[in-house]
Every structure is written in C-alpha cells, then in structure tokens.
Amino acid sequence: MKSYLAAAVQMNSLPDLHENLAQAEDLIDLAVRQGAELVCLPENFSFLGDEAAKIAEAATIAQSSEKFLKTMAQRYQITLLGGGFPVPTAAGKVHNTALLVGANGEELARYEKVHLFDVNLPDGNTYQESQTVLAGTNLPPVHPSKELGHLGLSVCYDVRFPELYRYLSQMGAHVLFVPAAFTAYTGKDHWQVLLQARAIENTCYVIAPAQTGRHNSLRQSHGHAMIVDPWGIILADAGDKPGVAIASIEPSRLEQVRRQMPSLQHRVFS
C-alpha cells in the first residue's frame, strides 16, 4: 500500500440519466486534475428520482452506469467506485448495486446493498426502499489492492449497522467506502458522527461520497461528502454544493493509529 490521493465526489443527481452522467464525468475530471487516483461516486449517482421511473428504466440505467464506470476508469487510469445504481432482478425489483472498477476497466468488486431504508421520519417524509429494491444477501466484499490498500464496500443506510464494518475490518479492510444519499433531516444530526464512529472503532479510513441538495419537491440530501482518517479526524468535507472532497490516504498514519490504539486486537466478542 502506498500514499495516494482519494476523492469523495458530491453530486446533485436528478431523474435524468444523461445529465447525471455528464455531471459525474465533470467531477471525476476535477478530482483527477487534483491528483486523485481513487475516485468514489455517491449512491444513486446515475439516477435519483421517481421510484416507478427508476424501475421502468432500470435496465437502461444499469447498462449505462456500468459502461460509464468502466469507460471513465480506463480513460483517466483510476480506480473508480460507483456508489449505487439499480440493477434489475428476476423478481421485478432492483438491487441497489455498488461497483468498484479498476484502471483497465475491469470489475474489481460488486456489492448489493443489504440494509434497506424503510423509515418514517419526523419531518413527515416516508421512505420505503424495499418497495422497489431487493435486499442483497451476501456480506460486502473487501478488495485487496496492493497499491490502494484493502477496500471495503458498503452503501448508505449500512452505516447504522456497525457489525457490517467490524466484519470488513476483520477481513482486513484499511479503507471503508460509505457512498450515500443521506436525507437532509437525518444527516444534520447523524451523518458526521456515524462516519467518525465507523472510522474510530475499526481504525480505518472512511471515504463517503454523497448526494446534496434538492432532487425533487420531496427529497433533499444532506451533502458533506467527506474523508475521515482512522483517528476520526475529518480530512476533507465537500460542504453542501456539488464538488469533491480530496485527501491523502497514508499507510504510515494507518499503522500509527493501529499501533497506538490496538482495539482490533483487544476484541473479546466476535
């Protein structure tokens, strides 16, 4: 594992596939021009809108999203995470799928989100992800990269389930991905503290690309894409506008924190 720059991209995705992919391309380009070798896109990067439209267009969105990720990774010679897009299933629903792609355009890891956001919030908004999304049934993968470290996948609502990240750290993860479309209501209180907790308890870097702003009349995302170090220090925060949060991932920092706070070695219960 070497020192390198990583980017957590912040988008305002809409129910327009082509517009979203154009926005994503601009932000990938911005990140690469600043030196990023690992670039991470948020959940719903290619489509965020009406659920019925998502289902109707799922095959096109899936195909276009995967082709886009492989093309961008090859063009810019980066490792690229697509933090979540719909992939049709035989059951008529979709898997909320995160895809990690290497610089040669090859698929490195794929994860189908297991925790679905079925929540009634006090602000009056109700979210029923399970109406259109079929939960994944497999534990998330850790991709072992010699250059970038061991990369653990997750998606958004997963961040509230610490056992998933403990599994990833037990599998050797150095970096945890948390691509999200966190609601504005929950994000203001929980987003930052959850990311810091997952970083601290697992002594891992956390890279959390995010959605921001209004997507339609009902849905608004919190923003604040960020990168957190293994001590819980926020290295970069994208604020509330589309953009990128960029920070250095340092193996020496990872080793230092794990030496000073060897909590992973002190676990009593597994």
Active-site residue set: 43, 113, 156
In angstroms, rounded to a whole number, what is the distance separating the alpha carbons of residues 70 and 99?
10
DSSP tag of 242: S
Contact present, 12 and 23 (Cβ < 8 Å): yes
Distance, CA of 38 to CA of 109 (rounded, Å): 14
| Integer Cα distance of 253 and 179 in angstroms | 23
DSSP calls for 67-93? HHHHHHHHHHT-EEEEEEEEEE-TTSS
Q: How much of the chain is helix, strand and coil, in % rounded to 5?
A: 35, 30, 35
- The whole-angstrom separation of Cα 178 and Cα 115 is 13
Pairing of strands 142-145, 94-101: unpaired
Distance, CA of 77 to CA of 197 (rounded, Å): 32
